[in-house]
Amino acid sequence: GAGVSQSPSNKVTEKGKDVELRCDPISGHTALYWYRQRLGQGLEFLIYFQGNSAPDKSGLPSDRFSAERTGESVSTLTIQRTQQEDSAVYLCASSPNNEQFFGPGTRLTVL
């Protein structure tokens, strides 16, 4: 079956522009997570959705970051007024239980 997919795979943008990243989770997975991986670093948790519960936004680094999820399907991560320090790989994962399945990521470069 299909795994977690993310689009675009690469995004280059100019400082100050807004970007939107998309994640399609595995069908039936109730939980969805966004992580950020900066160069040479581990993954940092950003936000997580679980069913119809209020999302856990505790990892979002600033109010320029937001995310939405429609039901138990697609999620979008939006970064407003991008800064150079936002350059990273943004990874999405979905989970039916204890294991998280990761997508290939979106590499964001802010010039």
**Under the rule (CB under 8 A), what is the footprint of other proteins?**
4, 30-31, 33, 35, 40-45, 48, 50, 56, 59, 91, 93, 95, 97-105
31 forms bridges with which residues in the sheet? 50, 95
Distance in Å, CB of 82 to other proteins, minimum: 23
The residue among 44 and 66 lying less far from other proteins, judged by its C-beta, is 44
The residue among 19 and 93 lying less far from other proteins, judged by its C-beta, is 93
d(CA 76, CA 68): 5
Q: Beta strands 106-110 and 88-95: pairing type?
A: antiparallel
